[in-house]
Amino acid sequence: MSASPDPVYSIDVRGLNKSFWTKHVVSDVSLRVARGEIFGFLGPNGSGKTTTIRLMCGLLTPDSGSGTCLGFDIRRQQDEIKRRVGYMTQRFSFWEDLSIRENLDFVARLYEMPARRQAVDQALEGLGLVSRAAQLAGSLSGGWKQRLALAACMLHDPELLLLDEPTAGVDPKARRDFWDELHQLAARGVSVLVSTHYMDEAERCHKLAYIAYGRLMAQGTTAEIIAQQGLTTWTVVGDDLTAFVHSLQGQPGVDQTAVFGSALHVTGKDGAALDATLRRASAGTRYRIARAEVGLEDVFIHLMARSEDNFGARP
């Protein structure tokens, strides 16, 4: 593979727009992803996350906007970009009646790799697949299928990985192992774009973007995104939290309520009003209230509520 430019940013795009028929799927998206950065995309289903990722990496052509991916123009040098990108879809898309090794060898043939056997051996070794190399892909568990998919993505030594909800339906240990692998790749300078619905995974990304119905609503580190929203959160503990939720409906300062295990999270933008409401509602009861640190999931729920309004307002 010939040497590519070595920009500071793996992704640097401005004003991306994309419509399919009358639906404006991506609306004026601009962002940057640094080399060796794991960048996570959050948002409701159908919010344009996958389309945005594909636009930024030259897999789709934007209707308007510009930018570079790995130093190449996303409009004019798409073939150069594609040779340097590994793409892992949400759905397992390999041949179930072939073994792990046969699947990897077939992918190596598609990339026309001159040293196929060596590349396959390295992929098997790198992701702990050697002992299962002869096992049929169709008999693998979700976690092992995930490893096979990642190995196939890495065969041609890409500089950028695109992962579309890669851990959906995978058990917690396999998810943790997978993310450990991603951080090892990032430490070697590989950039990763990943869409996820899991908050624990989102917190393992270096930076995040929240996309809703094609619009970029927030971006930055976890701490930056939490701070940007200016939310205040309280926890409420006690019996029959459902009744307490009903007592808070329509009260000043209460923007959202959500049960987290045995506690209720109550969140709002107006901290003083929320404080007064909760103290009044809990006075003379057995409910215990306490200030809590605002978490990414609180912010996610808040942004989801805003994004629904945003969708309704769209032409």
* Cβ contact 217:306 at 8 Å: yes
Burial 186-203 (b: 16+ CB within 10 A, else e): beeebbbbbbbebbebbe
Q: How far apart are CA 297 and CA 304, in angstroms?
A: 10
Q: What is the pLDDT of residue 304?
A: 84
Residues 6 or more apart whose Cβ sits within 8 Å of residue 154: 86, 123, 126, 127, 161, 185
What would the two tokens of residue 189 be? 């300078």
Residue 92, pLDDT > 80, answer: no
Strand blocks (E) in 4-93: 9-20, 23-34, 38-42, 64-69, 72-73, 85-88
In the beta sheet, which residues pair with residue 161? 86, 192
Positive or negative, the Cα torsion across 296, 302, 306, 308?
positive
Instruction: Please say if the pLDDT value at position 309 is more than 70.
Output: no
88 versus 268: which is more confidently predicted? Answer: 268
Label the pairing between strands 64-69 and 9-20. antiparallel
Contact 62, 18 (CB under 8 A): yes
User: Distance between CA atoms of 25 and 46, rounded to whole angstroms?
Assistant: 9
Q: Give CA–CA dist 120/105, Å, rounded.
A: 6
Tokens 């942004």 belong to: 303
The backbone region for 157, taken as left when phi is positive above 0, alpha when psi lies in -120 to 50, beta otherwise, is: left
Pick the CATH number of 232-293 from 1.10.3720.10, 3.30.70.100, 3.40.50.300, 3.40.50.150: 3.30.70.100
Q: How confident is the model at residue 121 (pLDDT cuts 50, 70, 90)?
A: very high
What percentage of the chain's residues is helix, strand, coil (to nearest 5)?
A: 40, 30, 35
Q: Is the pLDDT of residue 127 over 90?
A: no
Domain borders along the chain are: 9-225, 232-293
Q: In the prediction, which pLDDT does 44 show?
A: 83
Q: How would residue 214 be classed by pLDDT, with cut points 50, 70 and 90?
A: confident
Candidates 41, 40, 31; CA nearest to 9 is 31
Mean pLDDT for all residues in the chain: 89
The model's pTM is 0.86
Report the percentage of the chain scoring pLDDT > 70: 95
| CATH ID of 9-225, from 3.40.50.620, 3.40.50.300, 1.10.580.10, 3.30.310.50 | 3.40.50.300
Q: Find out whether 4 and 70 touch, Cβ atoms under 8 Å.
A: yes
Max CA-CA distance within the chain? 76
pLDDT for position 1: 44
**Residue 312 confidence (pLDDT):** 45
> Taking 70 as the threshold, does the pLDDT of residue 315 lie above it?
no
List Cβ neighbours of 105 (8 Å cut-off, separation of 6 or more): 116, 117, 120
Separation CA 211–CA 204 (nearest Å): 18
Taking only the tens place, the pLDDT of each residue in 62-84 is 999 999 999 999 999 999 998 89
In this chain, the answer to whether the domains covering 9-225 and 232-293 adopt an identical fold is no
